[in-house]
């Protein structure tokens, strides 16, 4: 006796840490003798308890099902690989192109510009993004793919994944399977996709992907987010992250709090802090290696129908404050989602975040979908002759956001004046 | 819990944040002079001094009446209740003596550990009853921060999930109550160094404990910018046969803190545990040289590691007062330098230790 208890799956944990192998460390030798059995697993604990009639034995059994031993989930090499991938994605001045719109979401993008939502049109559209010239190599660190797109090719037969990888940009893949309702809540959801996730990740890794994305959704209202919604989404994000890392894939953790509603900035900040605290507790509980993850949160903003207006600096201060209170410094990077923000808004806000005078131990950059593609889509309208100008629009936004990620973006529009305003001194964040 | 019912006004938050920043100002740390009567007994017995109220007063007087330049290295002093109401030889109350040097006054407010039934000798800490009223009084009597110590241990079955959850919760309750009364809470979840576990085991346990502590602080709506953390360094157990360098200890510790302590926390003031004075300084110095981003101050909150030489120099004799003060000032200065990563030990041997590489195969 002295080896660590086996886990419920029956496999013995690696005994790297037990300097006390061979000894039963106990000052209460007599009472522990009853549990001096070779294997006590969590699965067996229930059965064992029913056979034991002395209360102190029941309580001691509970002691055995503790988590004070580390059963290393990742080797040193795997940890290094994950951290390197994460650092490459958020290298200074770089961010992520979120091109992982599902087929259904692409319909919402293509319909407004009068383009039919066919597989070919989706291929042609992603092509004009991925074939942008070398100017994007210094501002795009990673591209998130949708499953279909990962296996599509350029006109001359080059697989998209290879095209992106060959130019030194990291390939990512959306792996969740959409939201499903949480019964008994006020319309809240969790996200599905865990079934067979490990096998899928292994395949995606073979097919060129080095990171993944999984989106959970929470909303703010009088009664939401509920405790269940926060807990459940944090837990499912942690399971997803754990599985990804096992397969050499950096998980981007996305707990999006929707901007819908009339709540103010402070309310969003409060909720974002609660949600992120739950997320990082869950990641700790699930033994996720934080240095090999990225966070994709919402910026802290007022709700869309909030009557009060807030400056970029106020949004930046609220956002950075919330992150400083919840996101451990070990996390390699924070890549904001753009939500419903316009292209310019998303760049201006990201820039303000990077010029906020609080200490920020992680990279703060972008993982934008619409905020990188809106102008490109409008310029394209499905026309072959428009492809070049559409690509130019995309390059422009990519460069703008690359600068914003360094706090060097100078807006040309009226937002410039707002950018000069002072931080609100007495806003109690 | 989706609505915020602000526990603190903006002015209260600012006051707490300012106090915390003053305590861990660059080059400064904390003198933990809050030994209870019983614990002082252990210190005095070692130098053959009787554990009387007067002797306790005399020794604290020696420390607090040191040269005012001590304030360059000491940002705060933690008092025990009895000491808070004792006077210096000059007739001034000790809090006043300390405050006049520009040092922040703190007070130990917990009432010791209590057994957690059904565990393998694990404990929680008591002292919440009437804590708010006590804090209000301490604030009036000159205190601006408080300290509460929880204790966990590493063994085959410890720390248990209950011990971790219960201690994290009681620390959060204490912190919340302190802040309501204008006292900055120092949160101390000490994991004892007893045992033969290795560095990696201590790191793992410390990560789990600190994650639980910060989740509890968040749940209890504690204002992190107005708190300080007083953790153990990540070290191997005392009876571990494997030896580690200060760089190993530093890298393991900083890695752990980066994974669990939000950047909003202004300072982390390590306890010295069973470390010698020099060990505690070397380790702190190594922490401040670790090439990883450290968004909080890393400094000291030392008891024995600041006072051992002073006690040994004093041995209860009036004539030794100056020598005792010099010994104390020396350690304070050294730790002040260590808190900036600027301590250069005189002896070549320890310098060689400073030069050594991190253990390459150690997986953090």
Low-confidence ranges of chain B (pLDDT < 70): 1-2, 347-364
Helices (H), B129-245: 131-140, 161-180, 199-219
How far is residue B178's CA from residue B107's CA, in Å, rounded to a whole number?
11
Query: Parallel, antiparallel, or unpaired for β B145-152 and B113-115?
Result: unpaired
pLDDT of residue A75: 95
Instruction: List chain B residues with CB under 8 Å of A266.
Output: 4
Give yes or no for residue A93 having a pLDDT over 80: yes
Instruction: State whether A66 and B158 contact (CB < 8 Å).
Output: yes
The average pLDDT across A51-74 equals 53
Of B197, B200, B263, the CB nearest to A361: B263
d(CA A72, CA B248): 19
Identify the pLDDT of residue A18.
Answer: 35
Q: Is the pLDDT of residue A9 over 70?
A: no
Instruction: Report pLDDT digits (tens) over A339-352.
Output: 989 999 999 999 99
Please, which residues 10-49 of chain B have a Cβ atom closer than 8 Å to chain A? 10, 13
Question: pLDDT band at residue A69, thresholds of 50, 70 and 90?
Answer: confident
Q: Which residues of B are catalytic?
A: 188, 230
- Measure B157 CA to nearest chain A CA, in Å: 6
Q: Cβ separation of A284 and B259 shorter than 8 Å?
A: yes
pLDDT for position A20: 33
Q: Helix (H, G, I), strand (E, B), or coil: what is residue B76?
A: strand
Locate B42 and state its tokens: 């252990």
Categorize the per-residue pLDDT at A7 as very low, low, confident or very high, splitting at 50, 70 and 90: very low
- Indicate if the pLDDT at residue A53 is higher than 90: no
The residues, any chain, with a CB within 8 Å of residue B52's CB and separated by 6 or more, are none
Select from A221, A277, A360 the Cβ nearest to the Cβ of B218. Answer: A277
Query: pLDDT digit string (tens) for A105-158?
Result: 999 999 999 999 999 999 999 999 999 999 999 999 999 999 999 999 999 999
pLDDT band at A43 (very low <50, low <70, confident <90, very high): very low
What's residue B347's pLDDT?
64
Instruction: Report helix, strand or coil for B317.
Output: coil
Q: Between B19 and A59, whose confidence is greater? A: B19
Which residues on A lie below 8 Å from B242 (Cβ)? 19
**Percentage of chain A modeled with pLDDT above 90:** 78
Least confident range of A26-35, A80-89, A190-199, A404-413: A26-35
Nearest residue to B345 via CA among B303, B292, B294, B286:
B286
- What's the confidence (pLDDT) of residue A27? 38
Measured between beta carbons, the chain B residues lying within 8 angstroms of A72 are 363
The pTM is what? 0.85
Q: What is the pLDDT of residue A22?
A: 33
Mean pLDDT of A192-215: 97
- What pLDDT was estimated at residue A95? 98
In this model, does residue A170 exceed pLDDT 90? yes
d(CA A308, CA A286): 40
Q: Residue A413: which pLDDT band, with cuts at 50, 70 and 90?
A: low
pLDDT, tens digit (0-9, with 9 covering 90-100), for A307-342:
999 999 999 999 999 999 999 999 999 999 999 899
Contact B157 A68 (CB under 8 A): yes
Average pLDDT, chain A: 85
ipTM associated with this complex: 0.86
List the Cα angle B299/B304/B309 in 5-degree steps: 110
Catalytic residue ranges of A: 296
pLDDT for position B360: 35
């Amino acid at each position: 006796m002295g080896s660590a208890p086996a886990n419920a799956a029956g496999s013995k944990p690696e005994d790297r840490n037990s300097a006390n192998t061979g000894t039963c460390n106990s000052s209460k030798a007599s009472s522990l003798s009853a549990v001096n059995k070779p294997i006590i697993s969590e699965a067996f604990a229930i059965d064992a308890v029913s056979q034991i009639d002395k209360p102190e034995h029941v309580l001691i059994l509970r002691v055995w099902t503790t988590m004070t031993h580390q059963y290393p989930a990742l080797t040193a090499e795997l940890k290094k690989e994950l951290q390197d991938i994460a650092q490459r994605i958020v290298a200074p001045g770089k961010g992520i192109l979120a091109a992982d719109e599902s087929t259904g979401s692409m319909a919402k993008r293509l319909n407004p510009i009068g383009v039919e939502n066919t597989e070919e049109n989706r291929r042609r559209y992603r092509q004009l993004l991925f074939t942008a010239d070398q100017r994007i190599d210094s501002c795009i660190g990673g591209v998130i793919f949708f499953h279909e797109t990962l296996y599509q090719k350029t006109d001359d037969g080059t697989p998209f994944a290879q095209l992106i990888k060959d130019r030194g940009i990291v390939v990512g893949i959306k792996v969740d399977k959409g939201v499903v309702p949480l019964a008994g809540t006020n319309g809240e959801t969790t996200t599905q996709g865990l079934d067979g996730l490990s096998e899928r990740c292994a395949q995606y890794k073979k097919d060129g992907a080095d990171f993944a994305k999984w989106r959970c959704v929470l909303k703010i209202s009088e009664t939401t987010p509920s405790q269940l919604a926060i807990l459940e989404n944090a837990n499912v994000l942690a399971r997803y992250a754990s599985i990804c890392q096992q397969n050499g894939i950096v998980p981007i953790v996305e707990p999006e709090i929707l901007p819908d509603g009339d709540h103010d900035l402070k309310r969003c900040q409060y909720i974002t802090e609660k949600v992120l605290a739950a997320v990082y507790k869950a990641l700790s509980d699930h033994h996720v290696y934080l240095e090999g993850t990225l966070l994709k949160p919402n910026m802290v903003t007022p709700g869309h129908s909030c009557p009060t207006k807030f400056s970029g600096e106020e949004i930046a201060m609220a956002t950075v404050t919330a992150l400083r209170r919840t996101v451990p410094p070990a996390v390699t990077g924070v890549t904001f989602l753009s939500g419903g923000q316009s292209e310019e808004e998303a760049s201006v806000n990201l820039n303000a975040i990077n010029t906020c005078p609080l200490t920020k131990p992680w990279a703060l950059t972008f993982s934008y979908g619409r905020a990188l593609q809106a102008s490109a889509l409008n310029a394209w309208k499905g026309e072959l002759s428009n492809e070049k100008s559409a690509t130019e629009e995309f390059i422009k936004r990519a460069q703008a956001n690359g600068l914003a990620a360094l706090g060097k973006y100078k807006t040309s529009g009226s937002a410039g004046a707002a950018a000069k305003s002072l931080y609100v001194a007495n806003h109690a964040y | 819990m989706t609505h915020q019912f602000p526990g603190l006004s903006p002015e209260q938050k600012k006051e707490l944040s300012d106090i915390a920043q003053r305590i861990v100002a660059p080059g400064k740390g904390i003198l933990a002079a809050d030994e209870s009567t019983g614990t002082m007994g252990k210190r005095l017995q070692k130098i053959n001094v009787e554990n009387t109220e007067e002797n306790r007063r005399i020794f604290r007087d020696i420390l607090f009446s040191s040269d005012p330049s001590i304030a360059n290295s000491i940002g705060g002093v933690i008092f025990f209740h009895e000491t808070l109401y004792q006077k210096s030889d000059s007739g001034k109350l000790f809090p006043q003596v300390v405050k006049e040097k520009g040092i922040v006054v703190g007070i130990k407010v917990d009432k010791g550990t209590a057994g957690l039934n059904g565990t393998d000798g694990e404990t929680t800490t008591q002292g919440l009853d009437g804590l708010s009223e006590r804090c209000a009084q301490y604030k009036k009597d000159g205190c601006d921060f408080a300290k509460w110590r929880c204790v966990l241990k590493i063994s085959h079955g410890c720390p248990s999930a209950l011990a971790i959850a219960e201690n994290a919760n009681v620390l959060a309750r204490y912190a919340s109550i302190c802040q309501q009364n204008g006292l900055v809470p120092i949160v101390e979840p000490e994991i004892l160094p007893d045992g033969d576990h290795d560095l990696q085991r201590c790191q793992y346990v410390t990560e789990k404990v600190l994650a639980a502590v910060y989740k509890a602080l968040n749940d209890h709506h504690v204002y992190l910018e107005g708190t300080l953390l007083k953790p153990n360094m990540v070290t191997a157990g005392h009876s571990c046969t494997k030896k580690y360098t200060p760089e190993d200890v530093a890298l393991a510790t900083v890695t752990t803190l980066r994974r669990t302590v939000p950047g909003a926390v202004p300072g982390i003031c390590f306890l010295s545990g069973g470390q010698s004075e020099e060990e505690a300084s070397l380790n702190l110095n190594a922490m401040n040289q670790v090439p990883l981003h450290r968004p909080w101050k890393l400094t000291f909150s030392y008891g024995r590691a600041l006072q051992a030489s002073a006690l040994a120099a004093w041995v209860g004799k009036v004539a030794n007062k100056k020598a005792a003060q010099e010994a104390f000032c020396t350690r304070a200065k050294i730790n002040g330098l260590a808190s900036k990563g600027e301590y250069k030990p005189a002896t070549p041997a320890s310098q060689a230790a400073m030069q050594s590489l991190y253990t390459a195969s150690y997986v953090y």
